[in-house]
Amino acid sequence: MALPSTNITTTLVGQELGLNTHNVSTLCLSSLVNEYGFNSPDYKEQSAYFGKTPYQRQNENQTVFPKQGYPLGVFRNYDHNWITFTGNNGYKTSDSINYYSPIYMRLPIVYAKEDMSTKTPVTIAHTFDVYFNRYGNDFVHTNFVKMISDQTGYYPYFQFQINPQSPPDGGSALTVGSTAWFKVVHKSSPDRRWISGIDAISNNGDGECYIFSVVIPSDPWTNSMRYTDLTFFAYRKTGNSGIIASLNILGDLRVQNNNVNIKFEIASDSNFTTNEFLTNTSATCNANTTSPGTSVQSGSAYFDLSSAISKFSVGSTIYYRVNFNNDGWSQTYSAIVSNQPPLQ
């Protein structure tokens, strides 16, 4: 609770600060004072003491009050538990790593003094404007746009976002690795709830602003595909013969590919000229929604070449190879025709 506006005594102030003294200068210069708790109705007192360190208060007292000494009246309406906020330079959040997702920026809203974190929290609204410039940090002349007006932020940060595909200036998509600049202007806060931060610069006389840049993140997907776990089995048995093959697809795709072309070729010689048989299929490679940048199980393909089994006898060698996604033929593999079907 704030001290009263009248009948201020050294006893009352000492009790509020936790000091056992009736010396006014000791009270005024104590490091236990919350310099943001001053709320004197006297403009001169308030200007000399609000937000000032003990050293600054002593200096102000020598220049502003050289004859009257330390003013006990500066503690009128003093609130020892008062919380004031300030800003720090902005940054891109650590999870903004995907070119195809929104990029989140934050302007930290922090306590003006570290020990304010021990006081009873208060919810205070601060308003900001945000400007965007893809060309540099010049927010005075041209090439910048205002992207946000009078948006509210609360401790511990003011957050906003952009989409690299649709930047705020309406221009072309931002490129991976390029730099974008932002200017966040502090518009307003309740009285005595905000002070200019150490990273702040003047906003042409209209409050303060924070200018910072972010690098547009890369595409986390490699957009690659490959096959693995290739299996092949050929068998001839009365009433039950066949040639079958299968493979799994590993992929790291941002969007699903429904047209992965796979060719499968067999022959009785490694040059694929005798008893050659070719089939192809179109498989699906699903999008990697769990761990971009890592190949994951994305699909599979199955081939039935049983119509060619009559060209091969039990014990003969079949050569086979794969052309995955029109990327050229694989190495040549071989298998022996069995007299038993594969285990189910």
Helices (H) and strands (E) in the chain, counts: 4, 16
Return the biggest CA–CA distance within the chain. 119
Residue 61 banded pLDDT, cuts 50, 70, 90:
confident
pTM given for the model: 0.76
Give the CATH fold of the 224-336 domain.
Immunoglobulin-like (2.60.40)
Q: What is the mean pLDDT of residues 191-213?
A: 87
Spatial neighbors of 174 by CB under 8 A, at least 6 apart, are 134, 164, 167, 180, 216
**What pLDDT is recorded for position 211?**
95
Start-end of CATH 2.60.40 domains in the chain: 85-215, 224-336
Q: Tell me the pLDDT tens digit for each residue of 77-118.
A: 999 999 999 999 999 999 998 999 999 999 999 999 999 999
DSSP string, 283-303: EEE----S-TTS-EEEEEEEE
**Quick check: 38 and 46 in contact, CB under 8 A?**
yes
Residue 344 banded pLDDT, cuts 50, 70, 90:
low
Cα–Cα dist 122/112, whole Å: 14
Q: Residue type at 5?
A: S
CB atoms inside a 10 Å sphere around CB 267: 22
**What pLDDT is recorded for position 63?**
84
Cα–Cα dist 189/193, whole Å: 6
**What pLDDT is recorded for position 328?**
97
3-state helix, strand, coil in the chain (%, to 5): 15, 35, 50
**What pLDDT is recorded for position 204?**
67
Q: Residue 206 above 80 pLDDT? A: no
- Token output for 155: 């401790």
Which of 268, 262, 252, 251 minimizes the C-alpha distance to 312? 268
**What pLDDT is recorded for position 74?**
96
Q: Tell me the pLDDT tens digit for each residue of 208-240.
A: 999 999 999 999 999 999 999 999 999 999 888
**Quick check: 217 and 176 in contact, CB under 8 A?**
yes
> Which of these CATH numbers, 2.60.40, 2.30.110, 1.10.150, 3.40.50, describes 85-215?
2.60.40
Cα–Cα dist 27/10, whole Å: 8
| Percentage of residues of the chain with pLDDT beyond 90 | 87
Cα–Cα dist 214/105, whole Å: 8
73 CB-contact burial (10 Å; exposed 0-12 / middle 13-18 / buried 19+): middle
The number of angstroms, rounded, from the C-alpha of 327 to the middle of its chain's C-alpha atoms is 36
